[in-house]
Amino acid sequence: MTDKLKIITTEDGSHSLYHEELQETYHSFHGAYRESIHVFMIYGLDSWLARNPRKYPIRIFEVGFGTGLNAWLALVWAEQNQIPVLYHTIEPFPLAEEIYSQLNYIDQNDGIWHFHKYFKALHEAPWNEGGPVSEYFNFKKDQVSLQEAQLYPCDVVFFDAFAPKKQPELWDIEQLGKVYNSMRPGGLFTTYSASGQLKRDLKSLGLEVENPPGPPGKKEMTRGWKPIDQ
């Protein structure tokens, strides 16, 4: 796997990975760090908290641990807000240390530099086990595909698989339905993709779909709320 990956620098100065076989990046060319903040923190956790100011802990499910950027930013968010988070992520192809140790995410924001040790801790955490990584962040990562994964009830879904055109099997109605069924009433699904088919499928499952403005380089993104009565 490692020989298929190349570290690249995106427009905001943060790293991403280019998968040569898929001809796809792990994050946006227009800014990996900015994309994760926009899609998963601002339009994910911040939005969920605004609707549920006292509903703790927050249970997050992520499709695609990848570089670990989303998980690390969620940890920083939990610590800064002093809100307990239970984070479950899946990744069938973990990165080798020689790759993740070179990623420069901890250099992107001086205000959160003191959380740098947790980025390494997330990558070094044992697979298929769960436990606390910091005071407010409990973490479990499973080395498994979405098709094989056991899902737990969750409040927020970070859907960060490779693009639908690259890995359509992760975006089909069966897998989206599996994720939908794991979402608790009032749960939030958020992703960078603005695929029309994705929006139609999410609506058919019962989500209230929204099209917020996208991160730099994208006109819009997709998120959906599960109705309280479902």
- Residue 19 maps to a domain: no
Domain of residue 198, residue span: 36-225
Return the residue matching tokens 């044992």: 126
Domain count within the chain: 1
- Residue 173 maps to a domain: yes
Tokens of 188: 């939030």
Give pLDDT tens digits for 42-82.
999 999 999 998 889 999 999 999 999 999 999 999 999 99
Helix or strand (DSSP H, E) at 201: helix 196-205
Is the CB of residue 182 less than 8 Å from the CB of residue 154? yes
Question: Is 0.75 surpassed by the pTM of this model?
Answer: yes
Position 112 scores a pLDDT of: 76
Alpha carbon 119 to its chain centroid, in Å, reads 14
Low-confidence ranges of the chain (pLDDT < 50): none
> E strands within 111-197?
129-134, 137-142, 154-159, 183-191
Position 207 scores a pLDDT of: 99
CB atoms within 10 A of CB 36: 27
CATH number, domain at 54?
3.40.50.150
- Residue 7 maps to a domain: no
